[in-house]
Amino acid sequence: MADTQEPKTDAKICGMGHSMKRKEDPRFIRGQGRYVDDIVLPGMLYMDIVRSPFAHAKINKIDTAKALKVPGVLAVIDGPTLAKYNLHWMPTLSADTQMVLPIDEVMYQSQEVCAVIATSRYAAADGVDAVEVDYEPLPVMVDPFESLKPGAPVLRKDKKDKKDNLAFHWEAGDRAATDKAFASADVVVAEDIYLPRIHVASMETCGCVADFNPAEGKLTVYMTTQAPHAVRTVVALVAGHVGLSEEKIRIVSPDIGGGFGGKVPVYPGYVIAIAASVVIGKPVKWIEDRMENLQADSFARDYHMHTEIASKKDGTMIGLRIKTIADHGYTNASANPSKFPAGLFSICTGSYDFKQAFCEVDAAYTHKPPGGVAYRCSFRVTEAVHAVERIADVLAQKLGMDPAEIRMKNFIPKEKFPYKSVLGWEYDSGDYAPALRKAMDLVGYEALRKEQAEKRARGELMGIGVCSFVEIVGAGPSKQFDILGLKMFDSAEIRVHPTGKAIVRLGTKSQGQGHETTYAQIVAEELGIPAANVQVEEGDTDTAPYGLGTYASRSTPTSGAAAAMAARKLRDKAKKLAAHLLECSPDDLVWEPGKFSVKGSPQRSKTIQDCVFAAYTNYPQGMEPGFEASWYYDPPNLTFPFGSYIAVVDIDRGTGMVKVRRFVAIDDCGNIINPMIVEGQIHGGLTQGLAPALFEEMNYDENGNNQNGSFMDYLLPTAVETPAWEVGRTITPSPHHPLGAKGVAESPTVGAPPAIANAVVDALSHLGVTHVDIPITPEKVWKILKEKGAAE
């Protein structure tokens, strides 16, 4: 376990370990980014969507007469229009089905009802206002527990033979053996832990410009997608019957203003815009407003987890059992690998050496918008980690142990890696105790405990919360991982031009992560070509190699590995070219970043640029000319980043307000490519962990009305609530990744919420409080204080 990593390359080459300034920044700081709403095409039309005010209603009639009289309005597209082309239904990424536009029934509030096409943005909005829809409200099911009860009215009447509202049942582990472990335990504690429905709320909403060129028969769609290649294939599969063939479909993902999983699914709006462009033969732009984005696009979480832990008297954890009811809304539109309907929830044994565990998820249909997506997490890892990290604290509280002590006692020991978890994962590498110790030292743990005791004696409320999480990212190996059958490999293609400058294209797609810099540094590391001379391009399916896109912290584990492997292939070729130029055997050459030299005669050398030039001008007989390589990387395993976080909170007894005074995060993501970018990713992820811990929740009333449908009441943290994050690291390389890297951006979103929740419960533990669900709002805390007689 180390915490520093010396770069192997100099600052000119700028390979791994250099905090290179980002190559994408010059355009962004000048306002020259190109986001989807910046795109204007000749003759472009605008689309706006009529959405249902009811969570469940019969549509008696859609009257478009007035709308069609609005100046500038050209057409209104409704379900029956799309039904003519059999495009009114589409598959979800989880192989469920979803309406594109309804024929006669809406199933959630803000569902798309019909779309207005007009010559301007304002005319389209006028048209939406003028459409008259006659709805007949129907009974609404909002509670997933009620939905799963026998005899509940069946929601998905469109599914033949469906007799209940169970979207799926999934389980992992040995139920009987776990029950036996619980029966033999000295101590068992349980809590009902709810992770509420939240929304990624990227600063840019979703949208597209669909551009069907009738003369060429080619469809180009500029869209906010994290997975352009997968979208192209899905469009070809869904719309093949109307003549859209995959070679005639081009998906372009331009600059994206944040994704966080919310831009993985294919939303109905995209499909309607594509259909409109194909029918009308002109480009059609559709851009959501914020309320549409929050109210209709995929949510995250919404897991009700009954969590139990069994232990010995001394705090040795022996069993974990979690039964989850998941609210999936109207359809299962999760962006999950197909063999994992509950994502990677079975990482729930976390950092601990459990001998037995069992978890199960029952997913319910309700009259809410469909989902779920990740919210900056690798497929339900946040839910799993929250459950185990909360229940570990509940156990410590029950036993009167310190939360750090119980973790240290139960960590998977370093010697056991690679570690096979009881729920079937092979953790690649880890060394958990030093990370926690480092966090404790940085925060001054022992002194804080002393301060807490003094404050408690004075009646002040202060808490310290610990979380030691393990992530599971980089999906994934083809034997287990696919989405709609597409294996989850990813790709890189490197072309080096005669003058030694390179262009690299990949199957992933940055949404702010800094890929243009990071991938350039990987190629610089492996080939010795300065990162400044490596141009990175992603997102255009006509030019980039096939890949499954960017989410679940998979870019560095998959495409990053592919870039390294492709570069190594080229380095082998460069070696042959150097041997040819130096008239020696390749075996006599040694590599140092940027050049090959002859063993024992370092003055006899050829730079990588010399070798590349020779690949076009002076190559040996029989060698294929040119200097290009590609690699499709099928990872042998996932990667398992980890870390330990400590939050310190103060609670105002008068208002119930929780203030995060300090937050220390020690992350281990293996080897680091750009330390500056990694730190930035951790800051951002921590803030997206703070957000659901204290502020964010998407609530619905009993009629299915969204209560947090705009930024007026869906509260994102501002700079004032966000603490000055204190970060540090340990480095435990991945043994199987070519660069030893693991992926990082989601660890902090996973680790921060339980750290903060544990701190709040710690502050209230002497009052007998064992659990508080997030978001921990002032109202929630104040009610507890009032009930316990501790409010001021």
Partner 1 sequence: MSTHRIKVTVNGTVQEAEVEARLLLVHFLRENLRLTGTHIGCDTTHCGACTVLLDGEPTKSCTVLAVQADGRQVRTVEGLEQGGKLHPVQEGFVEKHGLQCGYCTPGMMMTACALLAHNKNPSEQDIREAISGNLCRCTGYVNIVRAVQHAASRMQET
Catalytic residues: 226, 376-377, 746
Task: Kindly state the smallest distance separating residue 94's Cβ from partner 1, in Å.
Answer: 25
Span between the terminal Cα atoms of the chain, in Å: 47
Task: Kindly state the smallest distance separating residue 199's Cβ from partner 1, in Å.
Answer: 11
Task: Kindly state the smallest distance separating residue 585's Cβ from partner 1, in Å.
Answer: 46
708 binds partner 1 (CB under 8 A): no
442 binds partner 1 (CB under 8 A): no
Q: Which of 3, 10, 11, 25 is close enough to bind partner 1 by CB under 8 A?
A: 25
CB–CB of 386/193 below 8 Å?
yes
- In angstroms, the CA 365 to CA 551 distance is 25
- In angstroms, the CA 411 to CA 427 distance is 13
Give, in order, the Cα–Cα distances in Å from 597 to each of 98, 351, 582, 586, 609. Answer: 61, 46, 9, 10, 13
**Cα angle: 78, vertex 79, 82; to 5 degrees:** 95
Contact map string, positions 713 to 742, toward partner 1, x by CB under 8 A: ---x-xxx-x-xx-----------------
Choices 34-42, 413-421, 614-622, 637-645; region in contact with partner 1 by CB under 8 A? 34-42
Q: Which of 2, 3, 8, 21 is close enough to bind partner 1 by CB under 8 A?
A: 21
Q: Which of 4, 160, 203, 600 is close enough to bind partner 1 by CB under 8 A?
A: 203
258 binds partner 1 (CB under 8 A): yes
Choices 156-164, 626-634, 673-681, 774-782; region in contact with partner 1 by CB under 8 A? 673-681
Q: Which of 511, 553, 556, 644 is close enough to bind partner 1 by CB under 8 A?
A: 511
Give, in order, the Cα–Cα distances in Å from 338 to each of 360, 370, 481, 558. Answer: 17, 17, 7, 18
Q: Which of 254, 261, 329, 514 is close enough to bind partner 1 by CB under 8 A?
A: 514
696 binds partner 1 (CB under 8 A): no
Question: Which of residues 575 and 662 has its CB atom nearest to partner 1 in the complex?
Answer: 662
784 binds partner 1 (CB under 8 A): no
32 binds partner 1 (CB under 8 A): yes
Task: Kindly state the smallest distance separating residue 725's Cβ from partner 1, in Å.
Answer: 6
Q: Which tokens hold the place of 181?
A: 């472990």
Question: Which of residues 30 and 313 has its CB atom nearest to partner 1 in the complex?
Answer: 30
- In angstroms, the CA 171 to CA 311 distance is 22
Q: Which tokens hold the place of 521?
A: 């540094």
Choices 580-588, 612-620, 677-685, 753-761; region in contact with partner 1 by CB under 8 A? 677-685
Q: Which of 258, 253, 407 is nearest to 745 (CA)?
A: 258
- In angstroms, the CA 579 to CA 574 distance is 9
Contact map string, positions 281 to 320, toward partner 1, x by CB under 8 A: --------xxx-----------------------------
Question: Which of residues 465 and 709 has its CB atom nearest to partner 1 in the complex?
Answer: 709
38 binds partner 1 (CB under 8 A): yes
Task: Kindly state the smallest distance separating residue 781's Cβ from partner 1, in Å.
Answer: 22
Q: In 3-state terms, what secondary structure has residue 765?
A: helix
679 binds partner 1 (CB under 8 A): yes
- In angstroms, the CA 406 to CA 393 distance is 8
What are the beta bridge partners of residue 426? 420
Q: Which tokens hold the place of 219?
A: 């469809």
DSSP calls for 507-549: S---SSS-HHHHHHHHHHHHH---GGGEEEEESBTTTSPP---
CB–CB of 235/249 below 8 Å?
yes
Task: Kindly state the smallest distance separating residue 35's Cβ from partner 1, in Å.
Answer: 7
- In angstroms, the CA 701 to CA 557 distance is 42
204 binds partner 1 (CB under 8 A): yes
Question: Which of residues 286 and 481 has its CB atom nearest to partner 1 in the complex?
Answer: 286
Q: Which of 205, 225, 558, 758 is close enough to bind partner 1 by CB under 8 A?
A: 205
- In angstroms, the CA 740 to CA 653 distance is 48
44 binds partner 1 (CB under 8 A): no
Question: Which of residues 23 and 88 has its CB atom nearest to partner 1 in the complex?
Answer: 23
Task: Kindly state the smallest distance separating residue 458's Cβ from partner 1, in Å.
Answer: 26
CB–CB of 2/671 below 8 Å?
no
What is the pairing mode between strands 284-287 and 299-311?
unpaired
Question: In degrees rounded to 5, what are phi and psi of residue 788?
Answer: -90, 5
How far is C-alpha 143 from the geometric centre of its chain's CA atoms? Answer: 26
Question: Which of residues 32 and 478 has its CB atom nearest to partner 1 in the complex?
Answer: 32
Task: Kindly state the smallest distance separating residue 125's Cβ from partner 1, in Å.
Answer: 10
Choices 178-186, 202-210, 399-407, 453-461; region in contact with partner 1 by CB under 8 A? 202-210
24 binds partner 1 (CB under 8 A): yes
Buried b (16+ CB within 10 A) or exposed e, 440-465: bebbebeebeeebeeeeeeeebbbbb
Could you say which DSSP state residue 782 is in? Answer: H
601 binds partner 1 (CB under 8 A): no
Q: Which of 677, 762, 171 is nearest to 424 (CA)?
A: 171
> By the criterion CB under 8 A, which residues form the site for partner 1?
21-22, 24-35, 37-38, 40, 121-122, 200-205, 255-258, 260, 289-291, 511-514, 676-677, 679-688, 710-712, 716, 718-720, 722, 724-725
